[in-house]
Amino acid sequence: MAIASVNPATGETIRTFEALNDAAIDAALARSVSALRVNRARGFDERASRMIRAAEVLEERQKELGRLITIEMGKPIKAAVAEVVKCASNCRYYAEHAQSYLADEHVTTDAKETFIRYEPMGTILAVMPWNFPFWQVFRFAAPALMAGNVAVLKHASNVPQCALAIEEVFRDAGFADFEFQTLLITSEQVERVIADERVRAVTLTGSEPAGASVASIAAKHIKKAVLELGGSDPFIVMPSANLDDAVATAVKARIVNNGQSCIAAKRFIADESIAGEFEKRFVAAMEALKVGDPLDETNDVGPLATPQIADDIEKQVRDSVAAGAQLLTGGKRTGNYYAPTVLARIPPNAPAAREETFGPVASVFRAADVDDAIAKANDSPFGLGASVWTNDRAEMDRFIDGIETGQVFINAMVASDPRVPFGGAKHSGFGRELGVYGIREFVNVKTVWIARS
């Protein structure tokens, strides 16, 4: 079966690749076993020198790799280059902190000596999405390799060139013994890889159905899984907020990556007392965005990644309006491009109220007070992140305690950062990436007990 790289801005097929057959997959997994012996035997300093070199390679090639991202999935070029640079910072972070995060932890017991040792698990399969084709991979791979594991990547089928470029970055950085391998395989071949005894665990970033499938296969074979799934993040604005800052950030938080981000703000909940003003400013700011060729740095919004995604967002908006939602702006499609859109007065049964909208479409709601805002924020099967805008300390504490998400950002948009854990609650998945918790997801936590003689 062919795996195609198609430019979403033009519809042009750039390159096609044949999916690996069973023999090629077996050979890759055999190489991963040998690579594990190599990487596990390295000290932290040796792994760190390679990881720092990976950061340097990313920075040296940032324009070239950024352009590749844009051509394959349509991200505006400035954001694509910034994504590559962020990957470099993640490599440096784990090069600097992995040793302290995984150092032996001594515990006082009745024994002469007791400590906890963190050891690599082995070969980890990463099933990754197209929307942040470099960042999603590097935020897993940098800590995994620094812990002494090896990785095999099944990337989204529409970004095969990005997948191969990532393998090349690690190889050129000195991880040249197959410590990181890209497997150009189909979704149907993933089960076979998870089931293979040489694969010890799997991590997936993607949709709910994909997560449920991968987690069930991993459970069947008694293997650990980490899932980062969808989100329908609330963006809450209270009367004490700086409205200028809130509106400017609301637009940025909604249209990041052309609106195709799990942690993009999607449901905007404004207190009744300022909702009218918020809506007016928000709509004006969304209408001011420039939509067009993602390789043109003056444009703010590029195409959606595939025709199917454009079909889905078009249907969600159409069905929401049919259900009674008010279209304040947008709602127009040209090819794979979709105009920045704002919906208000949305009935509870409308798709825009219940489903994740993966495109530049914002749903605006009104809340009577703090309790109502928290209730509306939690009225979703997802629980990835939340952004809350208030300058009242008591309100901050109530939102922090009351919102059911993996992260709450106060007076800032939700973002991932190597220094803090990232992950969701409810249907947004389980497990954590980044920070100390991320690097400890794929290690064997071994208790060592040395008795008194």
Of 91, 262, 279, 356, which one is the catalytic site residue? 262
d(CA 415, CA 407): 9
CA angle at 415 for the pair 411 and 418, rounded to the nearest 5°: 125
d(CA 291, CA 301): 5
d(CA 431, CA 33): 25
Of 179, 228, 279, 441, which one is the catalytic site residue? 228
Pairing relationship of beta strands 429-430 and 385-389 according to DSSP bridges? unpaired
d(CA 198, CA 252): 43
Q: Establish whether 228 is a catalytic residue.
A: yes
Q: Establish whether 91 is a catalytic residue.
A: no
d(CA 97, CA 251): 34
Q: The tokens of 218 are what?
A: 């991993």
* Residue position matching structure tokens 């939340």: 386
Closest by alpha carbon to 153, among 182, 121, 191?
182
Going by the DSSP 8-state scheme, the letter that residue 306 receives in this structure is S
| Helix, coil or strand: residue 275 | helix
Task: Enumerate the active-site residues.
Answer: 228, 262
